[in-house]
Amino acid sequence: MENLVIYIISDSLGETGEQVAKASIGQFNLKNYEIRKYPYVLDKQFLDEILNDAKFQNSIIVYTLVDLELANRTSKFCEENNIPGLDLINPLIDSIRSRTNLSPLREPGIIRKLDEKYFKRVEAIEFAVKYDDGKDSRGLVKSDLVLVGISRTSKTPLSMYLANKNIKVANVPLVPEVPVPKELFEIPNKKIIGLTNTPEKLNQIRQERLKALGLSGNANYANMQRILEEIEYAETIMKKLGCPIIDVSNKAIEETAGLIINIMKENGLRVYKGFLNS
């Protein structure tokens, strides 16, 4: 049997067409075949070269071209040369348009861009988890932002919230008995934001935390004198760092995150616009 050649023609990576071709081939006990993938086909000249090559093969053409001129050119070529052609994207685009009365963007590679956005967010979330609560001080140098503060000042939830905005955040707890990591003084202070809370609010939150853990509310963790000492210690460190300080006592996570993003912009730090409304 003559070798079957499946041409994958795409204005992006061509992965969709390739996966469909492989899934279909898997339904046959087919030994003599070849998949030729042509990504980033964005002009007529390149397209015509591929099509003319396919004309002299035992070929099938699978294409994902959102440019209608290129898609129609491919369809016409297949029809004129009696080559099976499969448009994987435009029939569905047309169906969505008819059901929604919306106009398609016709932007090549948009799926890949969406995928990149997703994976960058995942990367930022994994970063926040890895460098949460001072687990590894080496992450401070790699971060876009470092949050510092005593326990129960919303460091972790803020880190995760900002990670969903594609900001790589590390956070460091400030505890009088634990030395501050040296890396904190080696990074630009514009990358650091201090978080604080009122003694009364901290006392309330910590007592509730102890109750949730089944512990006595009289523990030193929730002792007012201890809280005052921690706040004083944290403020001393933050002043040495020269970083802005945000009082989170009466703010929702979203509000504090908004303030942080504004500070980052004012300090000339990179903020990923495409993620701020996601």
Structure tokens at 239: 């002043």
Mean pLDDT (10-residue bins), the chain, 278 residues: 91 90 94 93 93 95 95 97 96 93 81 71 91 93 96 94 93 96 95 97 90 81 94 97 96 94 90 52
End position of a domain, from candidates 67, 84, 108: 108
Known binding-site positions: 149-156
End position of a domain, from candidates 108, 137, 170: 108
| pLDDT score of 246 | 97
Q: Are residues 51 and 171 in the same domain?
A: no
CA contacts within 13 A on the Cβ side of 49 = 6
Structure tokens at 61: 């053409």
Q: Are residues 104 and 222 in the same domain?
A: no
| pLDDT score of 274 | 47
| pLDDT score of 134 | 93
Q: Are residues 135 and 263 in the same domain?
A: yes
Runs of H (alpha helix) within the chain: 15-25, 44-54, 68-80, 90-100, 110-130, 139-142, 155-163, 199-212, 224-241, 253-266
Known binding-site positions for ADP: 149-156
Task: Give me the torsion for CA of 103, 109, 111, 112, rounded to 10°.
Answer: -160
Residue 212, domain extent: 116-275
End position of a domain, from candidates 56, 82, 108: 108
Nearest to 170 by CA among 191, 139, 198, 216: 139
| pLDDT score of 275 | 45
Q: Are residues 13 and 99 in the same domain?
A: yes
Q: Are residues 147 and 238 in the same domain?
A: yes
Asked if 274 and 217 touch (Cβ cutoff 8 Å), the reply is: no
Q: Are residues 21 and 100 in the same domain?
A: yes
Q: Which residue has the tokens 């040296």?
A: 182
Determine phi and psi for 245, rounding to 5 degrees.
-125, 130
The CATH number for 211's domain is 3.40.50
- Could you tell me the pTM of the whole model? 0.62
Distance of CA 191 to CAs 92, 93, 253, 258, Å? 46, 44, 19, 15
Q: Are residues 120 and 247 in the same domain?
A: yes
Q: Are residues 96 and 10 in the same domain?
A: yes
Q: Are residues 126 and 255 in the same domain?
A: yes
Nearest to 270 by CA among 188, 173, 195: 188
| pLDDT score of 263 | 96
How many structural domains are present in the chain? 2
Q: Are residues 270 and 179 in the same domain?
A: yes
